[in-house]
C-alpha cells in the first residue's frame, strides 16, 4: 500500500515509538490521527506536523473514545487505511513479594490497556477499513500492533506485561485470517530495548549498560527504527499474520 494520500490512526502517537511513527507516516505523505491521552504532547506533535495530522484525546480502553478517533480520520481525511497501536504500560511486580500476592487490579490494568486497548483499535479500525474500495492488489487496509520481546523472554516482575504482549502476538495470525477476505492485513512488531521516554528516566550509565546487552548493534533501538519497520509493513503486502522481533538479536535474561 502506498502511504501517500492514505490516512492512519496511531494510538500512543504523542511520544516514543508512536510519535516517531506519526512523523514518518506524515513525512511519507500520509495523514495521521494522533490518538493519545496526553493532550499537551499530542497537540504539540500534531501542530508541528501541520495539516496532515490531528490530535484526538483517546483512552484506548474507552470504546467511545477509540471510535471517535477512528471517526476523526474519516471526517478529517476522508477515510482510514491503517491503524498502528503503540499505546501501552508496564508495571513491574512479582507474583508473590514481601507485600503478598500480586494485586489483581494491577494485573487487570495492564491487560486492559495493552491487550484490550489494542483489540479496541483493531476492531473499530477494521470495521471502517472494510468499507474501502480495494487497491489493485485487493488490499483495503493494514493493522500494525506493538508487542515486546517480553512476549517470549518475560523477565522477573513482568508477569502482567509479558502476558499482555504474548496475547497480542497470539492475536496476530487469527486476526490476519479473520480479515483476509476483506483485504485487511495484521502484523505485529515485538521491539527489544528502545530509547523511549521511559528509558530517558534512567541514568546514562544504566542506559548504556542496557544497550551493551544487545548483541548487535550494541545500543538501544531508536524510535525512528521502529517507525521505519512500520513503513515497510504498510508498503509490503506480503507481510501478513506475522510478528517481527526488532531487537538486535537480544534475548532477555531472567532479570
Compute the radius of gyration of the chain from its Cα atoms: 18
Contacts of 83 (CB under 8 A, 6+ apart): 8, 9, 10, 11, 70, 121, 122, 125, 126, 129, 141, 142, 143, 144
All three cell numbers of 51: 495539516
Going from the C-alpha of 104 to that of each of 62, 112, 165, the distances in angstroms are: 20, 12, 17
To 5 degrees, how large is the angle CA 170–CA 172–CA 176? 140
CB 118 within 8 A of CB 188: no
Cα–Cα dist 57/26, whole Å: 19
Among residues 107, 161, 194, 226, the one annotated as catalytic is 161
Q: 3-state class of 58 per DSSP? A: coil
Q: Where would I find the beta strands (DSSP E) of the chain? A: 7-11, 31-36, 53-57, 82-85, 96-97, 100-101, 141-146, 184-191, 243-246
Q: 3-state class of 229 per DSSP? A: helix
To the query of whether residue 161 is one of the catalytic residues in this protein, the response is yes
All three cell numbers of 110: 495492564
Active site residues: 161
Amino acid at each position: 500500500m502506498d502511504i501517500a494520500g492514505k490516512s492512519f490512526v496511531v494510538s500512543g502517537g504523542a511520544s516514543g515509538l508512536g510519535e516517531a511513527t506519526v512523523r514518518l507516516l506524515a513525512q511519507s505523505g500520509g495523514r495521521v490521527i494522533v490518538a493519545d491521552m496526553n493532550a499537551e504532547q499530542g497537540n504539540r506533535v500534531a501542530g508541528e506536523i501541520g495539516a496532515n495530522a490531528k490530535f484526538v484525546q483517546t483512552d484506548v480502553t474507552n470504546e467511545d473514545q477509540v471510535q471517535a478517533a477512528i471517526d476523526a480520520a474519516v471526517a478529517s481525511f476522508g477515510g482510514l487505511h491503517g491503524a498502528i497501536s503503540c499505546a501501552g504500560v508496564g508495571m513491574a511486580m512479582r507474583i508473590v513479594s514481601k507485600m503478598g500476592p500480586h494485586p489483581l487490579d494491577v494485573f487487570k490494568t495492564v491487560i486492559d490497556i495493552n491487550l484490550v486497548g489494542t483489540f479496541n483499535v483493531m476492531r473499530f479500525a477494521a470495521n471502517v477499513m472494510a468499507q474501502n474500495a480495494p487497491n489493485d492488489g485487493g488490499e483495503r487496509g493494514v493493522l500494525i500492533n506493538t508487542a515486546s520481546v517480553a512476549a517470549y523472554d518475560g523477565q522477573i516482575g513482568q508477569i502482567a506485561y509479558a502476558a499482555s504482549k504474548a496475547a497480542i502476538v497470539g492475536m496476530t495470525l487469527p486476526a490476519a485470517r479473520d480479515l483476509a477476505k476483506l483485504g485487511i492485513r495484521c502484523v505485529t512488531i515485538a521491539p527489544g530495548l528502545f530509547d523511549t521516554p521511559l528509558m530517558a528516566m534512567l541514568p546514562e550509565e544504566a542506559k548504556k549498560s542496557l544497550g551493551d546487552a544487545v548483541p548487535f548493534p550494541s545500543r538501544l533501538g531508536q524510535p525512528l527504527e521502529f517507525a521505519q519497520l512500520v513503513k515497510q509493513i504498510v508498503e509490503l503486502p506480503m507481510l501478513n499474520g506475522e510478528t517481527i522481533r526488532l531487537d538486535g538479536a537480544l534475548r532477555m535474561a531472567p532479570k
